[in-house]
Structure 1
Amino acid sequence: MIATKFSTERLELLPLAVEYAEEMAAVLAAPELYGFTGGEPPSVEQLTQRYQKQTAGPGRPGEYWLNWVISLDGVLVGYVQATVIGAEAEIAWVVGADWQGRGIAREAAIGLTEWLRKQGTERLVAQVHPEHVASAKVAAAAGLEATGELDDDGEERWQG
């Protein structure tokens, strides 16, 4: 399985490429993006290395790393990703602080789940911090339901 370009009403989701690192470093530069997940904004060099690893894939048979950048009117504004093993995909989304509150994460996550379902994915999973109300709304809009199960990082499992 490979990530292919797809579109939603307003967005283009472009398969991840290393050349997006510089623009994405600016998108991901706001420290508040890391309030629930921890960490800090990545540098261009860090993103370049991360994108090289992500585009190479896991190297394990039957596991796929699928990554897209989100483009709104030709400007990168965030990303979505899925790790697919068998018929299950764990998904995640991040939209830069300057573009939040516009329904972009919701639209991108719904588009991602629809794309994955067309590829034969049967179960979708996301990990959402219990206090991250906006991400919980995105997960629900994408058809996932909270399970009440917490992982080691204190994030709740959502699935659908």
Structure 2
Amino acid sequence: MSGGSTAVTAEVVRTARLVLEPLRPAHAGPMVRVLADPALYAFTGGEPPGVEELRARYARWARGPAEPDTAWCNWVLREAGADGEPAGTVQATVHPAAGTAEVAWIVGTPWQGRGYAAEAARALVGWLAAKGVRKVVAHIHPDHHASGAVAAAAGLAPTDGRQEGEVRWEWTAPDAAPSEGATNKG
């Protein structure tokens, strides 16, 4: 990405089985059910949010960051053609001028084991690459093997880097120089 544009905003992304829909405060009610299992927070900390807390969080995310060189892109993921019930979220904090993004995902317990997180993460990395992002980063707890598998499926590789005890995973565009200690599988 060059030119310093921050005009990166979430838009609908479709995969073979999923629709990634830009997240809105109105998603808070259905997402409370998706995020209700305390087991989802075993590696990240925290606890299931209430609807008002989630609505306020989503409204803050919709307003965007205070930093003018950063964009927050958040999606609800749903099964394509389903009744519209969300299954999780994916998100990216994009730094357009630097051509980088940090990504994260969460899939509700009832939808886990179906490959949805990997499919959504692959779509997210592809969408970011199409927007000019040259490096994608995720931070994953070293014992969170399922999340590591999602990162690997999306083309990210673990590095020697650590942040608050989490392993730094990276994807670097094929025509960009990888960071020291990183390998590229995608």
> Percent sequence identity over matched residues?
50
* Counterpart AA for 2:153: A
Q: Does 1:24 align with 2:31?
A: yes
SS at match of 1:130: coil
| Structure-to-structure mapping, 1:1-160, within 5 angstroms | 1-72=8-79, 73=82, 74-85=84-95, 86-152=98-164, 154-160=165-171
1:19-72 CA deviation, whole Å, 9 max, x = no partner? 000000110000000000000000000000000000000021110000000011
TM-fit CA distance, 1:139: 0.4
TM-score where L is the length of structure 2: 0.84
**Separation (CA, whole Å) in 1 of partners of 2:106 and 2:94:** 18
Q: Which runs of 5+ in 1 are unaligned?
A: none
Q: Deviations over 1:108-146 (max 9, x none)?
A: 000000011000000000001000010001101111110
Q: Give the CA deviation at 1:75.
A: 1.7
* SS of match in other structure, 2:120: helix
Q: Distance in 1 between matches of 2:125 and 2:163?
A: 22
- Give the CA deviation at 1:148: 2.3
TM-score (ref. length: structure 1): 0.98
Provide the aligned length of Structure 1 versus Structure 2.
159
Q: What stretches of structure 1 move > 6 A for 4+ residues in a row?
A: none
Query: For 1:114 and 1:151, how far apart are their aligned partners in 2?
Result: 25
Amino acid at match of 1:54: W
* Larger CA Rg, structure 1 vs 2: 2
Q: What is the one-letter code of the residue matched to 2:170?
A: Q
**Equivalent residue letter for 2:168:** R
Cα RMSD (Å): 0.7
Name the aligned partner's letter for residue 157 of structure 1.
R
Tell me the amino acid that sits aligned with residue 90 of structure 2. Answer: V
- Between the aligned partners of 2:167 and 2:76, the Cα distance in structure 1 is 25
Q: Which amino acid aligns with 1:83?
A: T
